[in-house]
Amino acid sequence: MPGYRFCRTDDVPLLVRAENLCCAPHVPSEPPFTVESFRTGVRELSLWASSCMVAMEGDDPLGVLLAAKREGQTLIHRIGVRPGRLRQGHGRHLMRSLASKLAILGPPRLVAEVPADRDDLRGFFEACGYVADAEWADFVCETSPMAAAAPGELAVPVTLEDLREAGAIQDDPSRSWERSLVTLANRSAQLEGIGIASERGFEAWVLSRALPSDGRREVAALGCAEGAQGRALLGILVLHIAARSPRLVVPRISEAEMDTGQLEAWGFRKTRSYVRYAAQAAAA
């Protein structure tokens, strides 16, 4: 008989093995999950072993659920069932167990960020009672961007803390987990910021970080003052960074953060879309 249990910190190697057996076969393009991958998730995404579960049959993982937990909500970071054991109720059992725990301990809001082209996962979450409530997309610039003026002396280095103190960036429920203020703060040591300021405050700014594993640079957050001048100055900054990066990516950005048509006008192309599903935890 299969057994289901929540995990402890010393179960991280088991969670890693379960993820590679149960999730990785469904997304073979992703690199193998490692103990360091899990530790990075702990530091940056608030991944908690105590919010993670495994379904086991003897010593063999049948299913796994990895969850990240913050004050207001819990993210279903990964969920998967081993090929050959699908449609036997293991995934639903994991989901119900986590929801029952959170109904008592909180937070009661559960979310999942699902690639829009994963019809299997979307159908699974909808069958579990989750409702779509937000959309995001990845963008990438891989070619020489359109010409733009150099920022020159207009631009100054900025930090996340500078932007927060100036009120230029605030938390927003429409942001993806990846782009939330908590994640940005957790990654602050990796972020490089550039901004253009005036007596009114920041006219435009960009926070980005290098991704040494594959040579990309990631735009973690960006913003500008309202109006044509702010958008033009933001374009100068973004294209300045793009011209110095062989591959610049903007992950999981929403229309609420910026008009993504502007990214396309600057030479970016959309590569993947995501749907956020949400539900309220309830006891089984």
Summarize pLDDT for 244-269 with one digit per residue, the tens.
888 999 999 999 999 999 999 999 99
Residues 262 and 125: beta-carbon distance below 8 Å: no
Residues 128 and 92: beta-carbon distance below 8 Å: yes
Q: Say which amino acid occupies 199.
A: E
Produce one character per residue of 118-127: b if its CB has 16 or more CB atoms within 10 Å, e if not. eeebbebbee
Of 8-17, 94-103, 153-162, minimum mean pLDDT range: 153-162
Tell if the pTM clears 0.85, that is, is over it. Answer: yes
Residue 187, SS3 per DSSP = coil
- Given this structure, which CATH class describes domain 3-107? alpha beta
pLDDT in tens, 124-157: 999 999 999 999 999 999 866 555 556 767 889 9
pLDDT for the residue 171: 86
Please state which of the four CATH numbers 2.40.10.10, 3.40.630.30, 3.40.640.10, 3.90.480.10 is assigned to the domain occupying 139-273: 3.40.630.30
Please report, for the chain, the start and end positions of each structural domain, with discontinuous segments joined by +: 3-107, 139-273
